[in-house]
Amino acid sequence: MVHSGGKRKLAPVAQSCFNEGMTIRPPAAKRGASRFPPEYLLNREVGLLAFNRRVLAQARNPRTPLLERLRFLCIVSSNLDEFFEIRVAGLKEQIKLNSVSVTTDGMTADEVFRLVGGEAHALVVEQYALFNDDLLPLLAAENILFLRRTHWTDAQREWISGYFFREVMPLLTPIGLDPSHPFPRVLNKSLNFAVELEGKDAFGRSSDAAIVQAPRILPRVIRLPRELCDCEFGFVFLSSILHAFVGELFSGMNVLGCYQFRVTRNSDLFVDEEEIKNLRAKIQGELPQRHFGDAVRLEVADNCSDAMADFLLAQFGLGENDLYRVHGPVNLVRLMQVPDWVQRDDLKFIPFQPGTPKALQKCHSVFDSVRAGDVLLHHPYQSFRPVIDLLDQAASDPQVVAIKMTVYRTGTDSVLMQSLLRAAQNGKEVTVVVELMARFDEEANIGWATKLEEVGAHVVYGVVGYKTHAKMLMIVRREESGKGSLLRRYVHLGTGNYHPRTARMYTDFGLLTCNEEIGSDVNEVFKQLTGLGRAQTLNHLWQAPFTLQPNIVAGIREETKAARAGKRARIMAKMNSLLEPETIAALYEASQAGVKVDLIVRGVCALRPGVKGLSDNIRVRSIIGRLLEHHRVFYFHAGGKENVYLSSADWMDRNFFRRIELAFPVLDRKLKRRVIAEGLQIYLADNELAWTMDADGHYHPRRRNAPNSRTQPHSAQSELIGLLKP
């Protein structure tokens, strides 16, 4: 069973309030505040760790191809890195400031820190046990070996020695610790070695410790020549090489111990929005400091001496609870490339070819296809290529006069950005809203902003204090019609980023349309982002921070009203996270009224499903598979109208109140049926990848009862690959 912390029983008095239908309204001035006891909400940080347990279960699952199991293990490590860099770092900041504030579930920062510390330590232990006891032996059985230095043959040692002296040693700078050599600045998540020494050096100095930092340019895993191995693929860790030859860095001294370590630092950028005058310059100045934020976690090899571990903790200002001893490499993330290096298709997921909607196959021009009717794209089952083609055609089309686009995450080598550059060079009016505060993509976005400005594009950074997370592209084209010349707006709205690489791994919906009213709405949002003025009423779009959350809550309440009147009522929603208290309160009320609510929440869910008298009619499930579930889909029965919205926003405070987000309706009836079928119903039928959540936040695999069960297996991702293939 996958769990997410200890049970927290509902307060009897609070329970009776809900049983009697009492509702506590939040103060009007405090949007998103809880109007029910904190026992009705689950903790966000614990939920994040529970999500990573579900990911780790994919690495543990023998039905997952072996190299993909290794990849899932690495994903857990990557997720934990960000968890410490952002979430744990935030908790530590609150503790340091003696904050008396509590989380929505009623816990103080110190209580949450202690709780997640225990969960995180247990998760790391399980992770390395799986790596050492299961994955490494299974890989070895498939002739994929990670060779430990105690098992090197003479020929292997000779080759590795040559590699060390040729490729590694010239880049190393050992730092002996003494009064003239203080403890060096250690980069966030870098590989380092603490060395215990005895003896005197050439100057008669006797230092008992030194630090060796491994340059980031060095690979953490090195493949040995095939002829040196009794296997097809033989790898050696950089840490093993440094351990074996570290004595070469300290001539004439005796190495008593060498221990790898890694420190994780607070990586959240601090930007005082009231003080800044130039956002880009401020962020550029802050980026280098990200590598040297306050330490939040120390990982050391499990053979590290207690004395050295205590010494390192003191250097980084950390306590015993911040120490993680690991049995293996301190950074499993760097093994992520191994599945790509190993040419064993039988140990990987079967590749698939994305399809293309028939509407786009009929016409050479994307503009012609969209003019004939709205086009729905379901990534990665359907190709992201039409979006690339749309922008590529717009860049050189003489009838296109203007292009406007938002950029959140797009990558460092984006073909979309290249098309925007070419469009500006071709004389189009190009306007790009670049989000400079897209975490960990700030540097790439600043680079694109600079290049776009150099070719004459208009570059703005949205609204200070609100991240621009909406995904929208608008192309204005001058066309001839029976009534003469007109300007037509072509729009792409999406649930995911304009990033061709992640579009092959993340599930997302995109809508291509030239609907005049939607085009007018998108144009209005761009006016807000680039200019000044009050928000105007939009025809179809729901926009955060203005109308998105109120409209979602209103949709939930309409279903509640219908159920109380004895009419059919239904809510289905799919998202990454569900945390916003007022929305959760509305869902609880809907459940009490008899509304059937199905929620597909990939990551963190603060709502407690299945609580008698509170949430009997709410089911929550999470889908974890080869693809990252990323689309947000909201369905309300609405008296048979079946309102369906796609969105860039999760149901979280930050998305509703501190970001610029969009939810857009699917107006075409056929496309609406597709979204309901492909984005909701197929996931609700899943019994292969789905996990169901209970009232205490525990997750249980939703599997067929027995191997010989007559229940048909359903894997949403596999079925969609087959359904939408070319």
Q: Which residues are catalytic?
A: 469
User: Can you tell me the distance from the alpha carbon of 151 to that of 153, in angstroms, rounded to the nearest whole number?
Assistant: 6
Beta carbons within 8 Å of 640's beta carbon, 6+ residues apart: 568
Element housing 457 (H / E): none
**Contact (Cβ atoms closer than 8 angstroms) between residue 715 and residue 381:** no
User: Can you tell me the distance from the alpha carbon of 376 to that of 541, in angstroms, rounded to the nearest whole number?
Assistant: 17
Q: What is the dihedral of CA 366, 650, 592, 23, to 10 degrees?
A: -130
Q: Which residue from 111, 390, 659, 430 is spatially nearest to 103, judged by alpha carbons?
A: 111
User: Can you tell me the distance from the alpha carbon of 167 to that of 170, in angstroms, rounded to the nearest whole number?
Assistant: 7
Element housing 567 (H / E): none
Residue 508 CB-density burial (10 A; 0-12 exposed, 13-18 middle, 19+ buried): buried
User: Can you tell me the distance from the alpha carbon of 599 to that of 680, in angstroms, rounded to the nearest whole number?
Assistant: 9
User: Can you tell me the distance from the alpha carbon of 42 to that of 51, in angstroms, rounded to the nearest whole number?
Assistant: 13
**Contact (Cβ atoms closer than 8 angstroms) between residue 80 and residue 52:** yes
Residue at 69: amino acid letter: R
Residue 17 CB-density burial (10 A; 0-12 exposed, 13-18 middle, 19+ buried): middle
Q: Please count the other Cβ atoms lying within 10 Å of the Cβ belonging to residue 483.
A: 6
Beta carbons within 8 Å of 307's beta carbon, 6+ residues apart: none
HEC sequence for 621-642: EEECCCCEECCEEEEECHHHCC
Q: CA 25, 27, 30: angle at the middle one, nearest 5?
A: 125
**Contact (Cβ atoms closer than 8 angstroms) between residue 579 and residue 104:** yes
- Residues pairing with 651 in the sheet: 578
**Contact (Cβ atoms closer than 8 angstroms) between residue 95 and residue 109:** yes
User: Token pair for residue 4?
Assistant: 């997410």
- The residue with tokens 């009050």 is 534
* CA dihedral sign of residues 387, 389, 392, 398: negative
User: Can you tell me the distance from the alpha carbon of 87 to that of 144, in angstroms, rounded to the nearest whole number?
Assistant: 36
User: Token pair for residue 648?
Assistant: 């860039």
Q: Please count the other Cβ atoms lying within 10 Å of the Cβ belonging to residue 311.
A: 17
Q: Where are the beta strands (DSSP E) in 102-214?
A: 144-146, 175-176, 192-198, 209-213
User: Token pair for residue 157?
Assistant: 């040692």
